[in-house]
Chain A
């Protein structure tokens, strides 16, 4: 069965600090997809990134970067120069199948607080 572990539950940083959110996953499939979602205080989950298991290239999008390492089954998310608007709950998620009836399994989330 697929499983996602986000060991950190709450992180508090001061604005402009860099912060890394950890994600470790378990799966028996060779084809799978990893996701990060952001849930701001308004409550709606916002899609940030999707990565397939064949693409281990790191990705950078502005202040956000993601490090995917199959060898350690990790998909970590780094925010550089954090801002107050980054305060949210961040979820890592895993989907094993690619066709119909594919499910998305979430970690328990990390609450990030960025203080001015």
Chain B
């Protein structure tokens, strides 16, 4: 079975803290993505990466950065967390070739107090 895992299901942080959300996929996919999901807004793309050490801004990159040092791992970083970053964060991966489907992790529900 294909697998995308995220380091935490629930996370509570304080305003101003640096937050790391980790995502790992075991499918040897080239592409990885970070989305945030908010009620009434659906899923919005924060950043994505189509290769190791490569990154592209999505639709809402402000306040976030990413790191992809290894093919299987894609990290989302909140340099200084703020309350408006309280959300559900979903990681996904997909292959560049063949039948292209996005596979999602279980999500991390982040609360910033």
Interface residues of A (CB under 8 A from B): 6, 9, 33, 35, 37, 42-45, 47, 50, 91, 93, 95, 98-109
Contacts and interface: CB of A to CB of B under 8 A. Distances in A.
B56 A101 contact: yes
A36 to B, nearest CB: 11
Contact of A100 (B31, B42, B101): B31
A67 to B, nearest CB: 20
A47 B103 contact: yes
Given A33-B100, A50-B99, A100-B30, A44 B42 contact: no
Contact of B45 (A43, A45, A100, A103): A103
Nearest to A100: B50
**Size category, B interface:** 20 to 34
Contact of A43 (B31, B43, B88, B96): B88
Q: Which secondary structure dominates chain A's binding surface? A: loop
Nearest to B43: A106
Interface of B: 30-31, 33, 35, 40-45, 48, 50-51, 56, 58, 88, 90, 92, 94, 96, 99-107, 109
A14 B33 CA distance: 36
Given A35-B102, A44-B106, A103-B48, A108 B56 contact: no
A50 B103 CA distance: 12
A100 B51 contact: yes
Contacts of A33: 100
B3 to A, nearest CB: 11
Given A47-B102, A104-B94, A105-B45, 13 more contacts: A6-B42, A44-B105, A45-B90, A45-B92, A91-B42, A91-B43, A93-B102, A95-B100, A99-B96, A100-B31, A101-B56, A103-B58, A104-B45
